[in-house]
Amino acid sequence: MREYYCYKFHTRPNIFNPILHGGRLFQQFAVDTYIKIESSRLDYMWHHQNKIRADLYQGLLDNIQAGEQNGDAVGKRRVLTSSFIGGPRDKLRRYLDAMALVRKYGKPDVFLTMTCNPKSQNKNIFLSLEMLLLR
C-alpha cells in the first residue's frame, strides 16, 4: 500500500498530476493516506503476533516478577516490535543509539539553525556558511 501511494505522490517531468495540485485537498488526502498506511501496519502487527513471537512476552509469571499488584495487566498482550516506527520499542532503540553516539563522540558542541532566502542572489553567504559548517 505504501509503495502505491509513493507512486501516486511522485512528481514526473512533463506529466500533470492533479493530486499534487489540489492545495488543501491534497493535504487532507496526504493525512488520510498516512492514517490508512499506519492502520494497515498496526493491523498487521495485531494479526501476526504468532510470527513475531509475542508469546515470549506474555504470562502470569512475567507480571508477578514485574511486581504487578493488580490483575488488570494480566491477559493477552499485543506487542509492537522495534521495527514499527514510532512505537515505544523504536523510540527506546533510537534513544539508546543517540546516547551511544554521545558516549563515543561526547556532547554536541553547537546546535546551529539558519534561515536563508533560497531566491537570494548572494551565493557567497551560502559558501561561507558551508565552509563554517565543514570545519
Residues in the chain, overall count: 135
Model confidence, pTM: 0.50
pLDDT of residue 99: 93
Instruction: Report the pLDDT value the prediction gives residue 62, as an integer from 0 to 100.
Output: 63
Residue 129's alpha-carbon distances to 3, 62, 111, 113, in angstroms, are 37, 55, 14, 11
Helical residues (DSSP H) of 21-116, grouped into ranges: 24-47, 60-65, 88-105
For residue 84, the SS3 value is coil
| pLDDT score of 74 | 58
How confident is the chain (135 residues) per 10-residue block, as mean pLDDT?
86 87 90 92 79 59 63 63 81 92 86 70 66 60
The pLDDT value given to residue 55:
54
Q: What is the pLDDT of residue 130?
A: 65
- Amino acid sitting at position 101: L
